[in-house]
């Protein structure tokens, strides 16, 4: 058991009812899990809790049996080996690809940074683009830079929040396939939130269906879809 989320509950300030209700799951090392749910079901909130950006009112998250989140700890995601990729990519516009990708490598010297930059740009197939600025790249290339930046510090867990929503249909499918291959090749455990059933099924080893902050169903993609459609 690699990641254990136990009985996580969360209220936003002034909210009348909890946004996340008794969320528990176990994720194995190298597994890709998708969290599927309608708008407002609490998907982004779960990611924010796992990332340590919000404190749960109850419950805990353990990685390798070590508590990384409970209602007394507030630690930045980078300090806990967690990388995040958001739907708007969040690249720094005034920095080149190389500067964006190496931004989080605080404890590395120049040679180590250059080596890691080459490794991750090679993984995302962007070796020729290190001197470009984000505005000189297509949406798909920007998405791959965001992935390279998240991969660079070698995180133990990667969190994705609707990472394909700004891509056109063809690119969407291509990047989705590439992303799954890269995650499987690197063996990084990943959690991926989406409202798109096709994405949730195509990318994940296991799926969780969230409804009003509660796990309604979970299981393998092939067993899940029929039941999700019935809900």
Query: Contact positions toward ligand ATP, by CB under 6 A?
Result: 12, 15, 19, 37, 39-45, 195
Shortest Å, Cβ 211 to ligand ATP: 10
E strands, 79-156, in order: 82-85
What minimum distance in Å lies between the beta carbon of 125 and ligand ATP?
29
Cβ atoms < 10 Å from Cβ of 22: 14
What is each CA distance from 96 to 130, 137, 138, 196, in whole angstroms? 7, 11, 14, 32
Give min distance, CB of 89 to ligand ATP, in A.
16
Between 50 and 120, CB nearer to ligand ATP: 50
Q: Which is nearer to ligand ATP, 156 or 166 (CB)?
A: 166
Whether 205 and 33 have beta carbons less than 8 Å apart is answered as yes
End-to-end CA distance of the chain: 29
* Nearer CB in complex with ligand ATP: 87/189: 87
- Smallest separation, CB 33 to ligand ATP (Å): 15
Nearest to 97 by CA among 136, 55, 61: 136
| Pick 19 or 34: Cβ nearer ligand ATP | 19
């Amino acid at each position: 058991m690699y990641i254990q989320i136990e009985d996580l509950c969360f209220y936003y300030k002034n909210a009348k009812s909890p946004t996340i209700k008794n969320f528990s799951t176990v994720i194995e090392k190298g597994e890709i899990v998708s969290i599927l749910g309608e708008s407002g079901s609490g998907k982004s909130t779960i990611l924010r809790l796992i990332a340590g950006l919000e404190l749960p009112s109850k419950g805990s998250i353990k990685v390798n049996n070590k508590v990384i989140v409970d209602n007394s700890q507030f630690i930045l995601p980078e300090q806990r080996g967690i990388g995040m990729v958001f739907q708007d990519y969040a690249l720094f516009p005034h920095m080149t690809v190389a500067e964006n990708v190496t931004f989080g490598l605080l404890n590395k010297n120049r040679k180590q940074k250059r080596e890691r930059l080459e490794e991750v740009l090679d993984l995302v197939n962007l070796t020729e683009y290190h001197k470009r600025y984000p505005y000189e790249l297509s949406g798909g290339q920007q998405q791959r830079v965001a992935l390279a930046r998240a991969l660079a510090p070698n995180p133990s867990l990667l969190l994705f929040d609707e990472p394909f929503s700004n891509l056109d249909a063809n690119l969407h499918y291509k990047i989705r396939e590439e992303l799954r291959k890269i995650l499987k090749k690197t063996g990084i455990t990943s959690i991926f939130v989406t409202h798109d059933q096709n994405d949730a099924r195509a990318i994940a080893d296991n799926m969780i269906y969230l409804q009003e902050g509660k796990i309604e169903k979970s299981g393998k993609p092939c067993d899940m879809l029929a039941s999700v459609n019935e809900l």
